[in-house]
Amino acid sequence: MNALDRDLGAEAVVHYGDGEFVVLKPGRHVLCAVTKKPIPLDALRYWDPVRQEAYASPQIAFDRWKANYAKG
């Protein structure tokens, strides 16, 4: 992505994989699945490839993982 790309302020469309993500539609951010706050793509570190969700922090990611996958 560079300065000549259109819609730089728009939300990106991303496919989340295991350990990497692919930008399908350029943009500057994605939304946290829990807080709905924007996460700049260069700061995106936490996501769930099964649920295709991004998370703004490790605590949010862990809490979401516990809610969705922890047995008990």
Structure-token pair, residue 11: 């939300």
Q: Which residues of the chain have pLDDT under 70?
A: 1-8, 72
Domain of 29, in residue numbers: 13-69
Q: Would residue 36 be called left, alpha or beta, if left means φ above 0 and alpha means ψ between -120 and 50 degrees?
A: left
Q: Give backbone dihedrals phi and psi of 66, rounded to 5 degrees, phi first.
A: -60, -45
Residue-wise pLDDT tens digits, 9-25: 799 999 999 999 999 99
Spatial separation of the C-alpha atoms in residues 53 and 30, rounded to whole Å: 9
Q: Would 4 be classed as within a structural domain? A: no
- pTM > 0.75: yes
- Whether 8 maps to a domain, the answer reads no
3-state SS class at 62 = helix
Query: Would you say residue 7 lies in a domain?
Result: no
